[in-house]
Chain A
Amino acid sequence: MTALLGLLRKETYHILRDKRTLLVIILLPVLQVIIFGYAIRTDVDRVRLAIVDPHPDYATLALRSRFTAAGVFSVVAVESRVDALDALFQRGDAQEAIVFDPDFAEHLARGLPARLMLVTDATEPNTGSAVQAYASAVIEGYERELQSRAPGVRIVPEIRMRFNPTRESSNLFVPGLMAFILTIISSLMTAISLTREKETGSMEALLVSPLRPWQIIVGKVAPYLAVGFVSVVGVIVEARLVFNVPLRGSVALLLAESVLFILVSLSLGILVSARTSSQRVAMMGAMVGTMLPTMLLSGFIFPIESMPQVLQVVSNIVPARWFVFVARSIMLKGVGLEYLWRETLILMAMALVLLTMSTRSFHERLE
């Protein structure tokens, strides 16, 4: 037991004394949350607007130019048929659409209520309502101007919030970010710290000692589990305080699932280090083998549902995919284990298989 404690203390010293890496570990999650958080906020500044104008006329063109002049909107498409909207929203090309009634200009000229429809992509509720409020304000401004010349003129907007299932919560970045940060800390750092010991030859000294392989592994990776755990808590707190990201489900469950995912990532890191002998190669291996799949195939940035079939199948073996799903469900939908047991079991199975494989790969080095 003292031997293991000594190892843990040593690894903690390694982490605390490598000031540059420590700074990266601490600042990375903080910065990522801010970068991703504000990246989403700037979306409100460049709202992708689609226009459906069946009968372009002086009146519709005037309102359209109001939108362009507002500076917040950039027109991505002008269509004459409403059917075109579906594809635009599905692809995410448009966030907002104005659909003019075919009689818009005529009604306006005759003093009748002129109708139009405002369609908003409300996948991300905060952005959606902000965008919709902007658009309404532009319309109201135009209406007021018309009324100053011809009192009694009315524009009646019909508001539609559109919830697109294929882009479900894709803008809520925190769960994906958690997976990404945990992958960096657990897989990358573990792989590097293990290969460093191989490179300097200190691993041999440990292997020759009476330490059991599991003690060496625990001594090496437990401190990174702790670091990963602290990062997750930090990201959740920051996302909550700074960006009001909801946490509707159980915090305990979310943290437990995070630990499970950390275990999976740590095992991947051990596996990478078992196959490599230099820190450089280990870093590349961990990036290609764990970080890229986590970025690209977990649904963090690109929704899985819109991937080609082949990639959807491949994404099944990416642990982050399951973790991102679980974390999103807990945070955004507030569901519990009764809905997530299948994904949790998958993560557990992955942890079990990878831990066994990585412990074995450690043994193999002795052969």
Chain B
Amino acid sequence: MTGELAIETQDLTRVFGAFTAVDHITFDVRVGEVFGFLGANGAGKTTALRMLIGLLAPTSGSARVAGHDVFTESEAIKHDIGYMSQRFSLYEDLTVRENIQLYGGIYGLSNREIRERTERLLARLGFEGAANDFVRALPLGWRQKLAFSVALLHQPRIVFLDEPTSGVDPITRRQFWELIYEAAAAGTTVLITTHYMDEAEYCDRISIMVAGRIGAMGTPSDLKRQFGTESIDELFVTLARPETAGAGRAKP
């Protein structure tokens, strides 16, 4: 079974001082799945994600990413994952091509691989004409699509997206999701955090975090049926109320 799991966590916990940001979360993500991590700001989704990608050490619990233990094999994990954050991670004073070359080099691709993949990437995004433009000259939507493609350049087994679509217009968001589906169809596992509830509907499975815990987890349709709600949005509001969420803790 382990071979089919891209991510598995058991009671993963992160404590900052007196504040438990992530409180014993346990979940699995299957290979090739698009897994949505939902929650209000401060619910702990970004903290959980940062533990999985090795930016933050867990306080307790266990987690395996791409078959590697996050405590002992964090270096091995780095080769197998791609990451794109809500904040823009390409360099604005480098051209599109230079950014691609830089990240290709960082992930140890050969010059030939970088060349081939650059051309393919530019063609797929329709960016051939902009290859030598500075990134700062690109519209935000283009940048996000480019950043996503660059995160996939080294063909990672899992790609982590931290609120990749915040501040992007609805049309670009749609196009962005098409890229996500393309990647998933090619076998890449996708873990995405978002606070747009409509995006939850695009995910294979979602987990809704409330105050550091997983409030609900499953396919969007199962969850709506289970909680008797019309939409994920409604479900989210139900869960976020302290009396129904069951974990009535104050935030710091």
Contacts and interface: CB of A to CB of B under 8 A. Distances in A.
A289 B108 CA distance: 38
Contact of B55 (A10, A17, A366): A366
Nearest to A207: B55
Q: Is the interface of A mostly helix, strand, loop or mixed?
A: helix
B108 A3 contact: yes
B101 A6 contact: yes
Contacts, number: 77
A13 B94 contact: yes
B88 A209 contact: no
A138 B103 CA distance: 73
B89 A10 contact: no
B28 interface: no
A130 interface: no
Interface string B25-67: 0000000000000000000000000000111110000000000
Interface in A185-213: 200-202, 204-211
Given A13-B93, A204-B85, A205-B89, A6 B106 contact: yes
A83 interface: no
A200 B81 CA distance: 21
Contacts of B54: 207-208, 366
For chain A, the bracket of interface size reads: 20 to 34
Contact of A210 (B78, B94, B98, B102): B78
B83 interface: yes
Nearest to B162: A204
A6 B89 contact: no
A7 B105 CA distance: 8
Given A13-B98, A204-B89, A7 B55 contact: no
B108 A208 contact: no
Given A206-B106, A208-B55, A367-B57, A14 B89 contact: no
Given A10-B91, A14-B93, A18-B93, A2 B98 contact: no
Contacts of A13: 93-94, 98
B222 interface: no
Interface in A54-70: none
Among all A-B residue pairs, the 8 with the closest Cβ atoms: A201-B87, A6-B105, A205-B89, A208-B83, A210-B78, A17-B93, A3-B106, A209-B106
Interface of A: 2-3, 5-7, 9-10, 13-14, 17-18, 200-202, 204-211, 366-367
Given A202-B88, A204-B89, 12 more contacts: A3-B105, A9-B102, A10-B91, A10-B98, A13-B98, A201-B86, A201-B89, A204-B83, A205-B84, A208-B81, A210-B108, A367-B56
